[in-house]
Chain A
Amino acid sequence: SQTIHQWPATLVQPVGSPLSLECTVEGTSNPNLYWYRQAAGRGLQLLFYSVGIGQISSEVPQNLSASRPQDRQFILSSKKLLLSDSGFYLCAWSLGDTDTQYFGPGTRLTVL
């Protein structure tokens, strides 16, 4: 069966510091991968998605970037965090022939 991991689970970072969040999927090959952000009390905002290694689509222009160095690894990064980057970051995966998405446990980021 497939499992999805995210780390760290929680993170507190100062404004202007860099960020690296990691997501890894096990038990499947060539998944579609997604990064979402959920601000407190709000809905899901799609940030990036990838349908293959080296293929990254950005949904919202901002100070975040994503990379997919391996088939089942998706990384979300920032060079300088803003206060508005605080939120719950969720990674999700789906298979190419279906659009059902499954979410990881999430990373709660607080920028101070």
Chain B
Amino acid sequence: QKEVEQNSGPLSVPEGAIASLNCTYSDRGSQSFFWYRQYSGKSPELIMSIYSNGDKEDGRFTAQLNKASQYVSLLIRDSQPSDSATYLCAVGSRSSYKLIFGSGTRLLVRP
């Protein structure tokens, strides 16, 4: 059973701090990794995708991938109250059309 694990949180950080969200996965054949943000009552929206080991930066967001440790993370710099949401990690493999989603980490940014 392929699994993606996330701490459910809530992760509470003060405004302006760095929020660090973590995700581990069980399938070593995984080749694509995604972070989605989901506001309460809304559908998930794609924030970042990463395919290679290392860091990928997009504005205040940095995705980090370590395939050897089967670990992917999302850093949010200068966190804003508007970043308060649930963050979903998703993992895919080239052999499948499907993504496996984690259950999400709830982030709360305190003003």
> Which A positions have Cβ atoms within 8 angstroms of B?
32, 34, 42-44, 46, 49, 51, 90, 94, 99-106, 108
12 A/B residue pairs, CB under 8 Å, sorted by A: A43-B88, A43-B104, A46-B98, A49-B98, A100-B32, A100-B34, A100-B46, A101-B34, A103-B43, A103-B44, A105-B43, A108-B41
Does A32 contact B97, Cβ atoms closer than 8 Å? Answer: yes
Per-residue CB contact flags for chain B residues 38-51 toward chain A (1 = under 8 Å, else 0) read: 00011111100100
Q: Which 7 residue pairs of A and B lie closest in terms of their CB atoms, listed nearest first?
A: A43-B103, A99-B92, A103-B43, A44-B101, A106-B43, A103-B44, A99-B32
Report the minimal beta-carbon distance from A98 to chain B, rounded to whole angstroms. Answer: 8
> Which B positions have Cβ atoms within 8 angstroms of A?
32, 34, 36, 41-46, 49, 88, 90, 92, 94, 96-99, 101-104
Does A90 contact B97, Cβ atoms closer than 8 Å? Answer: no
Across the interface, A99 reaches (CB within 8 A) one of B36, B44, B99, B101, namely: B99
Q: From A42, which residue of chain B is reached at the shortest CB distance?
A: B103
Contacts of B96 in A (CB 8 A): 99
Across the interface, B88 reaches (CB within 8 A) one of A44, A49, A94, A105, namely: A44
Does A90 contact B44, Cβ atoms closer than 8 Å? Answer: yes
Does A100 contact B97, Cβ atoms closer than 8 Å? Answer: no
Does B43 contact A90, Cβ atoms closer than 8 Å? Answer: yes
Does A43 contact B43, Cβ atoms closer than 8 Å? Answer: no
Contacts of A108 in B (CB 8 A): 41
- Central interface residue in A32, A46, A100, A108, by most chain B CB within 10 Å: A100
Contacts of B42 in A (CB 8 A): 105-106
Does A104 contact B97, Cβ atoms closer than 8 Å? Answer: no
Contacts of B98 in A (CB 8 A): 34, 46, 49
Contacts of B99 in A (CB 8 A): 99, 101
Does A49 contact B44, Cβ atoms closer than 8 Å? Answer: no
Does A94 contact B103, Cβ atoms closer than 8 Å? Answer: no
Report the minimal beta-carbon distance from A34 to chain B, rounded to whole angstroms. Answer: 8
CA distance A104 to B46 in the complex (A): 12
Contacts of A44 in B (CB 8 A): 44, 88, 101
